[in-house]
A and B are shown apart, each in its own frame.
Chain A
Amino acid sequence: MSQGEFRAGAFARPTFKSLISRIVFMHIVAVAVVAIFLPLVLFWLLNSEVDQLHRDAMRAQAEVLAERIVPQADGTFAFNLPDSLRGLYSDAYGRYQYDIRDGEGRLLFSSVRRTGAAAAVPRLSETISGAGVTRIIDGQTVRIQVAEDLAHRDVIIDDIISNFFRRVGWITIPILLILLATDIIIFRRALAPLWKASEEASNIGPARTDIRLPTEQIPREIMPLVTAVNQAFDRLEDGFRVQRQFTADAAHQLRTPLAILRTRIETLGDGAARQALHADIEAMSRIVIQLLEIAELDTLVIDPGETADLRAVCAEVVGSIAPFAIAQHKDIALKGTDAPVTIHGNAVMLQRAIFNLAENAIKFTAKDTSVDVVVDDDGAVRVRDCGPGIAETERELIFQRFWRADRRRSDGAGLGLSIVRGVTDDHNATVAVENLPGGGAQFTLRFRLADKAAIASSLPAHSQVRTG
């Protein structure tokens, strides 16, 4: 399924591959919404606060006016507006007004000159803000009302409100953006263990099925995923193990029938047919052994502290394969250093690799020529033959399982060099192939020397320069 099809399904809803871009997107939406609504809410709160302030101020003024109402002996009231306030309530100023009424609502005093007592509320412009207090003065109810014309509102307060957006309101946007940046940093840090887990996961392959994702430092929310993935790996590892075990078991099971076949052939009388059958059985037995070696190689984990004497291994291989070479009128010799060469590795696995190389070389070297196994004190082994050499184009192919240069040959399944590659891979060693100037192929395996210092000190001075 292509990405396009998938996107089409999720119409109008952006899909993000990255968790962080998803968070950024959601955050930007949230910032936009907040950037619009927060100032509006603040503006409304500020306004209602200002209104409240006004009402309180009006009430305070009404109380001041109430103190100026003096009861007269005749039961009426006198009202002495001080000069300091008179200006405020003047028609000329036109901002404040007051009405003072008695218990029945009759107008006693007013800042507005008016005929009659019709107007219950002082008539100013459309928008007014006012407050009133009721006092019992000398047994009579008096109601004092003060109003302010909002069209003439306090300039300072108006300025604060109208400047709010310009001066203060914009600050919400950078604050929200800083918050966004902080969130991204927090998320990146929170995701760091996941990056580490991904790196670990990239090492998992058919050869290393034992690795699991680290569970320490993984956020609890993601833990179920990591655990589930690890459990999936467990099941995969089991699957691989079953597969390898099958190869090993199959090879094992073939051994007894092969032994029967071989022994039966040997009871036949001498003859060309018997010789041929014998050779076939030899080849088949060798394939079965190689399959077992591969199955074992697939499960092998070399102890990093394990060391082996490369020269001793090569001596054993040359010794064990010499009868095979002699039978084919070919020769094999061990050359190079006489001293032990201690390298990191498993002796049995090394022996298999070098055996397969030597076997291959004997197979291809010409009759009456020699295969040389040369051990260097720098941890290299060279296996040289006097055969046709290996074409440039085939130098990588030869290490593949079941690859054979000449498919008409029936003396092998093409497993030997894949075992060599498997062993060198397991040993962090290298294998190189080249053709010799005088004809023939040379395979060079380079292993890591163990405990270099100790070996260097036991060698003559000129060798130290080379190995050190």
Chain B
Amino acid sequence: MRREPCGFTGNAMRLLIVEDNAELSRLVAAGLAAAGYESDIVGSAGEAREAVSSVSYAAMILDLGLPDGDGLSVLRELRRQMEPLPVLVLTARGGLQDRVQGLRSGADDYLAKPFAMEELVARLEAILRRPGQLLGRSLCLANLVYDTESRQIFVDDQPRIISARETSVLEILLRRQGRVVPKKNVEDHIFGLEGEVASNAVEVYVSRLRKQLAEHGAKVVIHTIRGVGYLMAEEK
């Protein structure tokens, strides 16, 4: 069941999977293919360097334990060459030091094995949507689509009008769908550096957004995690 990734612009996006375990890389490639991404597989650091220099990939999924060296050294090399290729590190190393070191070496995100394919795709799409990356325009959840450039909202492919501040809230929650967005981040996203903001302002906008989404028939739900923030998920 192959589908087009949400916000797919039509250009073929190739991913590079660097993983020495052939079985795992085959399964990951199959999972990515199901989500609409084509990928090449290499099994060593040397092959990875070669592949990156000859093909322009949209992103790289990098395993750290490689037979001919540390994946982190490949990552550091890329970053030294000012190569902006988004890198999602995938590793069996879940230790405290490894995690910190991985992110410091320039990884865009970090996923410890074993991971859910769904999460791998979500994280990958999150880094592909970052400014300057290929997957630029649309954010989707259930029957809801948000065009980040025109700031238009579609429910069941019908355009809907939602007020500006609520749209800002929707955008940040959609970008990190399935994960908790701290209230402070929502606040900064809506108001930027506008200075003093009423303490309950975010609550007010979130509750208005909920109401408007419900009116438009969007099958999404915004959970309030008291004391922390908000989480947007598909309605079940």
| Contact present for B21 and A256 (CB under 8 Å) | yes
- Least CB distance from A269 to B in Å reads 9
Given contacts A255-B94, A348-B96, whether A319 and B114 have CB atoms under 8 Å apart is no
Q: What are the residues of chain B within 8 A of A373 when measuring CB–CB?
A: 227
State A415–B118 Cα separation when bound (angstroms). Answer: 27
B-side binding surface: helix, strand, loop or mixed? mixed
Q: What are the residues of chain B within 8 A of A326 when measuring CB–CB?
A: 223, 231, 233
Query: Which of B28, B34, B182 contacts A319 (CB under 8 A)?
Result: B182
| Contact present for B31 and A267 (CB under 8 Å) | yes
What does the 1/0 interface line of A313-341 toward B look like (CB < 8 Å)? 00100111011001000001111100000
Within 8 Å of chain A (Cβ to Cβ): is B197?
A: no
Interface size on B, residues (CB 8 A): 32
- The count of A-to-B residue pairs whose CB atoms sit within 8 angstroms is 95
Interface size on A, residues (CB 8 A): 34
Q: What are the residues of chain A within 8 A of B231 when measuring CB–CB?
A: 322-323, 326
Given contacts A253-B92, A259-B24, A320-B180, whether A266 and B117 have CB atoms under 8 Å apart is yes
What does the 1/0 interface line of B189-212 toward A look like (CB < 8 Å)? 000000000000000000000000
| Contact present for B115 and A259 (CB under 8 Å) | yes
Query: Which of A262, A267, A320, A333 contacts B115 (CB under 8 A)?
Result: A262
| Contact present for B114 and A315 (CB under 8 Å) | no
Q: What are the residues of chain A within 8 A of B24 when measuring CB–CB?
A: 256, 259-260, 263
- Least CB distance from A184 to B in Å reads 54
Given contacts A289-B94, A323-B233, A334-B225, whether A263 and B27 have CB atoms under 8 Å apart is yes
Within 8 Å of chain B (Cβ to Cβ): is A252?
A: yes
Within 8 Å of chain B (Cβ to Cβ): is A453?
A: no
| Contact present for B229 and A319 (CB under 8 Å) | yes
Instruction: Report A's interface with B, CB cutoff 8 A.
Output: 248, 252-253, 255-256, 258-264, 266-267, 281, 285, 288-289, 292, 296, 315, 318-320, 322-323, 326, 332-336, 348, 373
- Least CB distance from A281 to B in Å reads 7
| Contact present for B114 and A281 (CB under 8 Å) | yes
- Least CB distance from A242 to B in Å reads 17
- Least CB distance from B209 to A in Å reads 18
Within 8 Å of chain A (Cβ to Cβ): is B23?
A: yes
Within 8 Å of chain A (Cβ to Cβ): is B179?
A: yes
Instruction: Report B's interface with A, CB cutoff 8 A.
Output: 21, 23-24, 27-28, 30-31, 34, 92-96, 112-118, 178-180, 182, 223, 225-229, 231, 233
Query: Which of B31, B95, B178 contacts A323 (CB under 8 A)?
Result: B178
Most buried by B among A285, A326, A336: A326
Query: Which of B31, B114, B182, B233 contacts A258 (CB under 8 A)?
Result: B114
State A263–B227 Cα separation when bound (angstroms). Answer: 35
Given contacts A260-B24, A263-B27, A323-B180, whether A255 and B96 have CB atoms under 8 Å apart is no
Q: What are the residues of chain A within 8 A of B179 when measuring CB–CB?
A: 319, 323
- Least CB distance from A346 to B in Å reads 9
| Contact present for A292 and B94 (CB under 8 Å) | yes
| Contact present for A292 and B227 (CB under 8 Å) | no
State A258–B115 Cα separation when bound (angstroms). Answer: 9
Q: What are the residues of chain A within 8 A of B227 when measuring CB–CB?
A: 315, 318, 333-336, 373
Report the nearest B residue to A295, measured CB to CB: B95
